[in-house]
DNA sequence: TACGATTACAGTACAGTACAGGATACAAAC
DNA sequence: GTTTGTATCCTGTACTGTACTGTAATCGTA
C-alpha cells in the first residue's frame, strides 16, 4: 500500500514509535489525506512496510481505537471513524433527562467553556443499563466526563444495579471526572464536584422564610412520587425535618388535582411547573388571594416566575454550568456547593 | 432476477458483507418490500448477482434462519417467515440548539415514540461542518434521521457550505429521513416533513388579531439580529408583509434595552424570553397598563405565559413531536404543516 | 548503583471474514 | 430416469484482528 508514504517514523527520536504512528495518522486525518470510513493498512502490512514490530503498530492502533478515531472489525481491518474534534478538548455531558433546568446548566456550560471545546450531550433517561452502555462505549474517548447522576432509586447502597454504575464511574480517570448536582454517590474522588445538598438546601431556604411561612396554618409539599423521572427524595426529608423542627402541620401531595379543596391558610410548595400552573389557576378561580389567603413557593426559579411574583427556593443553574466550565478551564479541583436561595416575592 | 436490486453491498464498508446482507433483508422486510412467504433468491443466484462468495451469502442466510426470519426448504429455496421484527428502532434527532421549545419537541417525541425505540440527541450548534461530520459519522447507523435544519444563513442557495449540507442530507435514504421545523431547504424528497411556514404563520396569526392590533399606533418586532443562533429571517418578512399590507407603522428592534422609551400605543412582539421579561418589567416600572397602554405579543407559548396573561403567537411544539412519532410508527409519509395559532389573552 | 517501568521486538496461538471448490440430498421439470 | 437447480455440509486458503508469551534495550528515579 502506498497510502502511508507520508507516515514518518523517526528511528532517532525520543518520541516512542507507537506515539509517532498515532500522531501521524491524526495528522493525516486533519490534513484530509485520510477520510471517514476509509480503511487504513492492516497491522501486518503496516509493520512490514515500515519495518516495525507488529506489536508496535498494534499498540498505536489500539490507542487510536480507544480514542474512537478508528474502529476495528475482526477479520476485516481498521477504519477511520472521526475526522473532527481533534486537538479540541472533548467533553461528554451526561444527564438523566432533559428538563428546563438541565438545559440551562448545559447551555451556560457550553457558553462558558468557549469555542476551543466540543461538548456532546447524552441523555440516559434515568436508565442504569443505558448509562453503563454509554459510558462503556465512550470510555477514554473524551477529555472530560460531566455526569449528573440521577437514577430510579436514591438508596444506592442496596441496589446492585447502581453498584455497577458507581464502579463504572469510578473507572473513569479521576482528573477527567466532573460530578454535578448529586453528591450522594460513593464516588471515590472526583476531579470536580458541584452539588446541591438537597436535604439541607430546602431546610435552610425555608428557614430563611420562616417568619412568612409561620403565617400559614398548614404546609403542602407537592412531590411527584410516581413520576418517570424521580426527584431526589432528600427534598422530602429536608422538608419534613423543617416542619417537625418548627412544629408546623404538613402533608405531602403527589400532584395538584383539579378538584383540590383549598383553604385559607394553606401554603403550597410545588416542584413541577404543571402543578404550579394548576394551583395558581385554582386559586384564581376560587378567588383566594395569592400570597394572602394561600401561599405558594415554587422550586427552581425562572424569569417568568419572577414576573409572576412567585416566591421561589432555587439553586442557581446558570452558575452551576459556569462554575464547571471555569474549574475545567482553570484546572482547579475540589468540591463546590452550588448556592441555593430563598427568593422572597409576593406569593408568600 | 431483479428482485434484489434494493440490496446494497458496499465493498468498502467496515461492516462485514454477510452482515450487510442480513441488515438489507431485514430492512426490506420492515419497509414492506419483502412480504411473508415470499421467496428470496437462492444462494447461487444471489452470489452471482452481487459478485459474492457463496459462502458469504450462505452465512447471512443461516443467520436469518437462526433468527427465524426465513426458513429453508431443501431443494427449493429460502422463504420469508416473519415480517414483525421486534428489534429496537434507532433514531437520530439532530437539532441546532437546545432551546425550551426544541426541548419540548424532543420530549414529546420521545414520549410518543414509546419504549421500543431509542432516540439519540445531537446538537450541532448551527455549525455546518459539525453537522456534516455528525451525519457522516452516523451514516447508516440509524433507522431514522430527524433533522431540524437551521444554519447560520437562511439564504441557502448562494452558500457552498450549505450546498454540502443539502447534498449530505439528500444522501440519506428517503425512507429514513424526517425533516422538521424548516422546509426551505432543497431536500428532494423527505419521507416525513413537519414544518413551520414561518413567513405565512406570523402573517396569518397577526391577521387573526388584527382588530386588537389596530388599537395600537406602532408595532415593534424584537428580533435578535446578532444572536449566535439566528431565528429564521422569514419571521421578519412575514411581519413586514403584515404591517405593509394593513398600513401599520412598524419598526424592528434588536433587543429591549434597559433605557428603552415606551409610549402609550406601542405594541411589542418579542421572540426571546429575556426580552419579554425586560419589557414587562419596564412597563410595570413606568406604570403603563399592560394590554391597555402598551400591548405585548410573545412568540412561542408556555404555560407560565398563560398564567401571566401574555397574548402569544405560537406553533404547537408538543404536537410537532407527537406527529413525527405517529408518522414514523404508522409508516405514513408526507408533508404536514404544524398548526400555528394566535392565542388571545390580556396583554393585547 | 539498582530497580522498575516503558518501549520495541519476535514468536505463537486463536478467532473472524471472505473466497473457492467439492460432495451430497432433495425437489421439480423434462 | 435424467437433468437442473436447490440447500446443506465439508474441505482448504489467505487474509484480518486479538491475545498471549518471552526478551532485550532504554530511561527515570530511588
Q: pLDDT tens-digit profile of A275-332? A: 999 999 999 999 999 988 999 999 999 999 999 999 999 999 999 999 999 999 998 8
- Looking at chain A, which residue has its C-alpha nearest residue B283? A307
- Do residues A78 and A39 make contact, with C-beta atoms less than 8 angstroms apart? yes
Closest residue in A to B305 (Cα) is: A304
Residues of A in contact with B300 (CB under 8 A): none
Most confident of A189-198, A315-324, B115-124, B146-155: A315-324
Residues of chain B with C-beta less than 8 angstroms from the C-beta of A36: 133, 136-137
Question: The pTM is what?
Answer: 0.86
Q: Which of B336, B322, B334, B333 lies closest to B113 in space, CA to CA?
A: B322
B28 pLDDT above the threshold of 90: no
**Contact status of B106 with chain A (Cβ, < 8 Å):** yes
Give CA–CA dist A88/B243, Å, rounded.
Answer: 47
What is the separation of C-alpha A89 from the centre of its chain, rounded to a whole number of angstroms?
Answer: 18
pLDDT, residue A11, reads 56
All residues at 6 or more sequence positions from A241 whose CB lies less than 8 Å from its CB, including other chains: A199, A203
Most confident of the ranges B63-67, B224-228, B285-289: B285-289
**Quick one: pLDDT at residue A316?**
95
Q: Which nucleotide is nearest to A78 (CA to C1')?
A: D17
Closest CA to A52 of A43, A64, A65, A61: A43
Q: Cβ contact (<8 Å) for B129 and A83?
A: no
CB contact under 8 A, B103 and A103: yes
How does residue A2 score in pLDDT terms, banded at 50, 70 and 90? Answer: very low
* pLDDT at B189 > cutoff 80: no
Residue of B nearest to A101 (CA): B100
Spatial CA neighbour of A119 closest among A139, A82, A148, A94: A94
Range list of H helices, chain A: 17-30, 43-49, 54-66, 100-113, 128-137, 160-170, 198-208, 210-213, 234-245, 273-285, 303-308, 317-330
Instruction: At B7, list the grid cell.
Output: 440490496
Nearest CA in chain B to A130: B118
pLDDT of residue A226: 75
Q: Residue B139: pLDDT above 60?
A: yes
Radius of gyration of chain A (CA): 26
Q: Assess contact for B30 and B74: CB atoms under 8 A.
A: no
What are B147's three cell numbers? 433533522
Which chain A residues are Cβ-neighbours of B305 within 8 angstroms? 304
Please say if the pLDDT value at position A239 is more than 60. Answer: yes
User: Minimal Cα–Cα distance from B107 to chain A, Å?
Assistant: 7
How many CB atoms within 10 Å of residue B345?
A: 18
Look at residue A40 and give its three-state secondary structure: strand
What is the spatial distance between Cα A189 and Cα A179, in angstroms, rounded to a whole number? Answer: 10
Q: Do A281 and B14 touch (CB under 8 A)?
A: no
Query: What's residue A155's pLDDT?
Result: 47
Nearest to A279 by CA among A321, A208, A221, A215: A221
Nearest nucleotide (CA of A75 to C1'): D16
Dihedral through CA B213, CA B214, CA B220, CA B223, nearest 10?
40
Query: D16 C1' – A330 CA distance, angstroms?
Result: 45
Is any Cβ of chain B less than 8 angstroms from the Cβ of A44?
A: no
| Alpha carbons A105 and A323: distance in angstroms, whole number | 10
Q: Which nucleotide is nearest to B11 (CA to C1')?
A: C18
Q: Give A233-239's long-range contacts (Cβ < 8 A, gap of 24+).
A: A233/A154, A234/A154, A234/A184, A234/A198, A234/A199, A235/A198, A235/A199, A235/A202, A235/A271, A235/A299, A237/A199, A238/A198, A238/A199, A238/A200, A238/A201, A238/A202, A238/A203, A239/A202, A239/A203, A239/A206, A239/A269
Are the Cβ atoms of A81 and B139 closer than 8 angstroms? no
Inter-chain CB proximity B305 and A305 less than 8 Å: no
Rounded mean pLDDT, B19-36: 85
Interface test with A, best of B134, B282, B307 (most A CBs within 10 A): B307
For strand C, give the nucleotides within 7 A of a protein CB: 6-12, 15-22, 25-28
What does the angle CA B316 – CA B322 – CA B323 come to, to the nearest 5 degrees? 85
Is the Cβ of B121 closer than 8 Å to some Cβ of chain A?
Answer: yes
| pLDDT the model gives residue A86 | 56
Residues A304 and B305 sit within 8 Å (Cβ to Cβ): yes
Contact B307 A273 (CB under 8 A): no
**Contact at CB, A103 and B98, closer than 8 angstroms:** yes
Cell numbers given for A304:
417568568
Contacts of residue B91, defined as CB under 8 A and 6 or more positions apart, other chains included, come to B113, B117, B118, B119, B120, B142, B143, B144, B145, B146, B328
Residues of chain B positioned with their CB less than 8 A from the CB of A303 = 273-274, 277
Residue lying closest to nucleotide C27, CA to C1'? B75
Assigned C-alpha cell, B182 = 424548516
* Per-residue model confidence (pLDDT) at position B13: 75
A276 vs B contacts (CB less than 8 Å): 304
Q: Which residue in A59, A116, A128, A67 sits closest to A87, CA to CA?
A: A116
Q: Which three cell numbers stand for residue B342?
A: 394566535
Q: What integer is the mean pLDDT of A15-33? A: 85
Cα distance from A262 to chain B (closest Cα, Å)? 19
Contact list, A110 vs chain B (CB under 8 Å): 125
Find the closest chain A residue to B306 by CA distance: A277
- The larger pLDDT score, comparing residue A290 to residue B85, is at A290
Mean pLDDT of A37-49: 88
Q: List CB contacts of B345: < 8 A, sequence separation 6 or more.
A: B306, B309, B310, B311, B312
**CA separation for the pair A308, A297 (Å, rounded):** 12
Name the helix (H) or strand (E) containing A218. Answer: strand A218-222
Q: Are strands B70-73 and B39-40 parallel, antiparallel or unpaired?
A: unpaired
Angle between helices A160-170 and A128-137 (to 10 degrees): 20
Amino acid at each position: 500500500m502506498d497510502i502511508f508514504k507520508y507516515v514518518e517514523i523517526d528511528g532517532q527520536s525520543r518520541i516512542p514509535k507507537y506515539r509517532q504512528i498515532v500522531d501521524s495518522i491524526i495528522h493525516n486525518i486533519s490534513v484530509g489525506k485520510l477520510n471517514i470510513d476509509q480503511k487504513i493498512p492492516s497491522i501486518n502490512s503496516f509493520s512490514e512496510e515500515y519495518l516495525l514490530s507488529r506489536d508496535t503498530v498494534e499498540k498505536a492502533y489500539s490507542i487510536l481505537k480507544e480514542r474512537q478515531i478508528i474502529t476495528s472489525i475482526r477479520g476485516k481491518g481498521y477504519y477511520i471513524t472521526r475526522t473532527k474534534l481533534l486537538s479540541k478538548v472533548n467533553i461528554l455531558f451526561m444527564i438523566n433527562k432533559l428538563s428546563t433546568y438541565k438545559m440551562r446548566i448545559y447551555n451556560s456550560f457550553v457558553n462558558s467553556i468557549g469555542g476551543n471545546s466540543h461538548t456532546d450531550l447524552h441523555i440516559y433517561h434515568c436508565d442504569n443499563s443505558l448509562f453503563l452502555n454509554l459510558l462503556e462505549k465512550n470510555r477514554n474517548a473524551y477529555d472530560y466526563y460531566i455526569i449528573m447522576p440521577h437514577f430510579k432509586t436514591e438508596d444506592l447502597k442496596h441496589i446492585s444495579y447502581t453498584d455497577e454504575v458507581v464502579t463504572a464511574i469510578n473507572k473513569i480517570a479521576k482528573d477527567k471526572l466532573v460530578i454535578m448536582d448529586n453528591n450522594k454517590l460513593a464516588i471515590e474522588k472526583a476531579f470536580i464536584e458541584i452539588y446541591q445538598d438537597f436535604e439541607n438546601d430546602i431546610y435552610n431556604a425555608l428557614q430563611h422564610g420562616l417568619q412568612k411561612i409561620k403565617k400559614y396554618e398548614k404546609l403542602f409539599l407537592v412531590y411527584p412520587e410516581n413520576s418517570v423521572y424521580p426527584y431526589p427524595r432528600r427534598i422530602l426529608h429536608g422538608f419534613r425535618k423543617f416542619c417537625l423542627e418548627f412544629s408546623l402541620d404538613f402533608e405531602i401531595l403527589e400532584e395538584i388535582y383539579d378538584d383540590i379543596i383549598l383553604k385559607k391558610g394553606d401554603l403550597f410548595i410545588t416542584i413541577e411547573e404543571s402543578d404550579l400552573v394548576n394551583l395558581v389557576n385554582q386559586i384564581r378561580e376560587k378567588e383566594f388571594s395569592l400570597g394572602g389567603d394561600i401561599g405558594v413557593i415554587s422550586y427552581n426559579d425562572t424569569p417568568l416566575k419572577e414576573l409572576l411574583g412567585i416566591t421561589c427556593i432555587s439553586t442557581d443553574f446558570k452558575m452551576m454550568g459556569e462554575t464547571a466550565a471555569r474549574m475545567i478551564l482553570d484546572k482547579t479541583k475540589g468540591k463546590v456547593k452550588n448556592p441555593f436561595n430563598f427568593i422572597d416575592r409576593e406569593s408568600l
